[in-house]
Amino acid sequence: MSTPQNVAVNGSRLWQSLMDMAQIGGTPKGGVCRLALTDLDKQGRDLFVRWCEEAGCTISVDRMGNIFARRPGRNDSLPPVIMGSHLDSQPTGGKYDGVYGVLAGLEVVRSLNDMNYVTEAPVEVAVWTNEEGSRFAPAMVASGVFAGVFDLEYGLSRADLDGKTMGEELARIGYAGDREVGGRKVGAYFEAHIEQGPILEAEGKTIGVVTDCQGQRWYEITFTGQEAHAGPTPMVRRKDALLGAARVVDAVNRIGLKYGPLACATVGLMQIHPNSRKVIPGRVFFTVDL
Residue among 25 and 98 whose Cβ is closer to Zn ion: 98
177 forms part of the interface with Zn ion (CB under 5 A): no
To Zn ion, the closest distance from the beta carbon of 137 in angstroms equals: 15
To Zn ion, the closest distance from the beta carbon of 282 in angstroms equals: 39
> Which residue lies nearest Zn ion, judged by its C-beta?
98
CA nearest 233: which of 169, 286, 282? 282
Contacts of residue 81, Cβ cutoff 8 Å, sequence gap at least 6: 119, 121, 122, 123, 124, 187, 188, 189, 190
Four-residue CA torsion sign, 100, 101, 107, 111: positive
Residue among 44 and 281 whose Cβ is closer to Zn ion: 44
Query: Is the distance from CB of 67 to CB of 105 less than 8 angstroms?
Result: no
The radius of gyration of the chain from alpha carbons, rounded to an integer in Å, stands at: 24
Residue among 73 and 98 whose Cβ is closer to Zn ion: 98
Contacting range for Zn ion; rule: CB under 5 A; set: 16-24, 38-46, 60-68, 94-102:
94-102
The secondary element (H helix, E strand) that includes residue 181 is none
Residue among 44 and 73 whose Cβ is closer to Zn ion: 44
Contact flags string 44-83 toward Zn ion, x per CB under 5 A? ----------------------------------------
Contact flags string 95-114 toward Zn ion, x per CB under 5 A? --xx----------------
The secondary element (H helix, E strand) that includes residue 222 is strand 218-224
Helix spans in the chain (H): 11-22, 39-54, 97-114, 141-147, 152-156, 166-172, 199-203, 241-258
Residue among 105 and 122 whose Cβ is closer to Zn ion: 105
Residue 85 corresponds to which amino acid? Answer: S
To Zn ion, the closest distance from the beta carbon of 86 in angstroms equals: 6
To Zn ion, the closest distance from the beta carbon of 193 in angstroms equals: 6
Residue among 134 and 267 whose Cβ is closer to Zn ion: 134
Residue among 85 and 181 whose Cβ is closer to Zn ion: 85
To Zn ion, the closest distance from the beta carbon of 133 in angstroms equals: 10
To Zn ion, the closest distance from the beta carbon of 209 in angstroms equals: 17
To Zn ion, the closest distance from the beta carbon of 12 in angstroms equals: 23
CA max distance for the chain:
87
Summarize as ranges the residues that interact with Zn ion (CB under 5 A): 97-98
